[in-house]
Structure 1
Amino acid sequence: MKNLFLILMVTLIIAVICLKVTAQTPPGLSEINEGKNLMAQNFRALSRAVLILGALFGLLGGLRIYNNWQMGKGNIDIEVAGWFGACIFLSVLGVFLSALYQVPIA
């Protein structure tokens, strides 16, 4: 019984050593990580640019709606709903894409 236990332990130790020796990192792993880091940097910059553009277009849309309101044109409610929906869409889109590509918002 003692011999069987000793043989089993030696076999397990040899198997673990062989697995450690043959275990290597897969090829291309460093390139994938580098690409992920580049995508994260570009995503942050592009998400900031989209938010700035969204703010500018929101201000322009607000001025357009205010001008139409002062001119007495009808259907201002439809324009307000459209511009408000666009602002909400831009805000939610950034969060959705960061979750989709697993890039933290910073």
Structure 2
Amino acid sequence: MIKRKLFTLLLIAATVSNSFAAGNGMAGINEATSMVSSYFDPGTKLVYAIGAVVGLIGGIKVYSKWSSGDPDTSKTAASWFGACIFLIVAATILRSFFL
């Protein structure tokens, strides 16, 4: 009889400790979510800055090809312009998708 009561008491103690652990786990998950969400705004601005630098480099390369009379200028301009648009759109879509 005493063994049964002791076993029941240990089972209740284990259940209570698991419920406390679950509460702390949820708080940790919520804190991690808020930390990751706080990085999206600076990350988006960083991707916009990278897009601007890529656009400037592309503009210089296209201008140098155009000045030298290279017939491949339009393809180069389209590829650099496409890369800039992709960076901007990808950053905007990821930000709107996750926040």
What TM-score results when the alignment is normalised by the length of structure 2?
Answer: 0.70
Provide Cα deviations, 1:12-48, integer angstroms capped at 9, x if missing partner.
xxxxxxxxxxxxxx52222122111111121211111
Moved over 6 A (4+): none
Task: Work out the number of aligned pairs and report it.
Answer: 78
1:89 is displaced (CA, Å) by 0.6
Which of 66, 81, 84 is 1:87 aligned to?
84
- Compute the RMSD of aligned alpha carbons: 1.6
Tell me, in whole angstroms, the C-alpha distance in 1 between the residues paired with 2:58 and 2:96: 29
Tell me, in whole angstroms, the C-alpha distance in 2 between the residues paired with 1:96 and 1:53: 16
In structure 2, the gaps of 5 or more residues are 1-21
Other-structure match for 2:53: 56
In structure 1, the gaps of 5 or more residues are 1-25
Confirm whether residue 73 of structure 1 aligns to residue 76 of structure 2. Answer: no
Q: Percent identity?
A: 34
What TM-score results when the alignment is normalised by the length of structure 1?
Answer: 0.66
Pick the structure with more helix per residue. 2
